[in-house]
Each structure stands twice: as structure tokens, then as C-alpha cells.
Amino acid sequence: MLLLQAQAAGGATSFFASPIFMLILMFVIMWFFMIRPQRKQQKEIEAFRNSLAAGQQVVTSGGIYGTVREIISENGRSIVVLEIAHGVKIKIDKSSVFADMSVNAAQQK
């Protein structure tokens, strides 16, 4: 009510009622609830990919479950040899490894 009276009288509006403040507030809220958690998750996944070792059970972003047999560096790219069945090995890019399934299996027991 007072704000409407101040505007009607030709007075200046406060900074907190300005559209610029509302825009800044929306950006801060969006950063805090959306961007920050996503960056944290990306860092966790990157740390996991860097700690990959032979014998780990993993799942790829395509949904393939398997066991890491070796990690090869070719032409500046890291390639993971994944055994998906007894004697069946495939090569995948290290960036497509998504989660450690040996940790999940231990937690479910």
C-alpha cells in the first residue's frame, strides 16, 4: 500500500521492489538449487572415472553391466575394456562409464 502511494506521489521505488533485484534473486535461487548440485554430481562422477581399476563392476551410460578388465590410453583417449559375460570383452570410452555397481551391491546386502 505504501509502495503504491509512493509511486503515485512520484517517489522513487526501493531497490528490493525493482525488476533488477528480482532478476538477481531468481538467478541466485536457480544457481543454488540447480547449477550447484549438478556441478557437485559431475565432480563426483569425474573422480569416480579417474579412480577406475581392474576388477570393478560398473554400469555404462547405455545400461551395460560388466567388469573392468583393463584401462588403455590410445591417442590421448582412455578406453576401458569391459567384460560383459564370460569371455566376452568390449572396448568403451572411459567417459561412458557411469556408476560403480560393486558399491551398490555391497550396500543392498
Q: Which CATH number characterizes residue 92's domain?
A: 2.30.30.30
* CA–CA distance, 49 with 96 (Å, rounded to integer): 9
What is residue 89's predicted lDDT score, i.e. its pLDDT?
A: 94
Rg (C-alpha) for the chain, rounded Å, is: 26
Mean pLDDT of each 10-residue bin along the chain, 109 residues long: 49 69 88 88 89 90 92 87 93 89 60
CB 51 within 8 A of CB 68: no
pLDDT value of residue 103: 60
Which cell goes with 101?
555397481
97 with 71, same domain? yes
Strands (E), the chain: 57-60, 65-74, 77-85, 88-93, 97-100
Same domain, 58 and 103: yes
- Rounded Cα gap, residues 58 and 106, in angstroms: 13
Q: What is the pLDDT of residue 13?
A: 60
Range of the domain at 65: 53-108
> Considering its fold, how many domains does the chain have in total?
2
pTM over 0.85: no
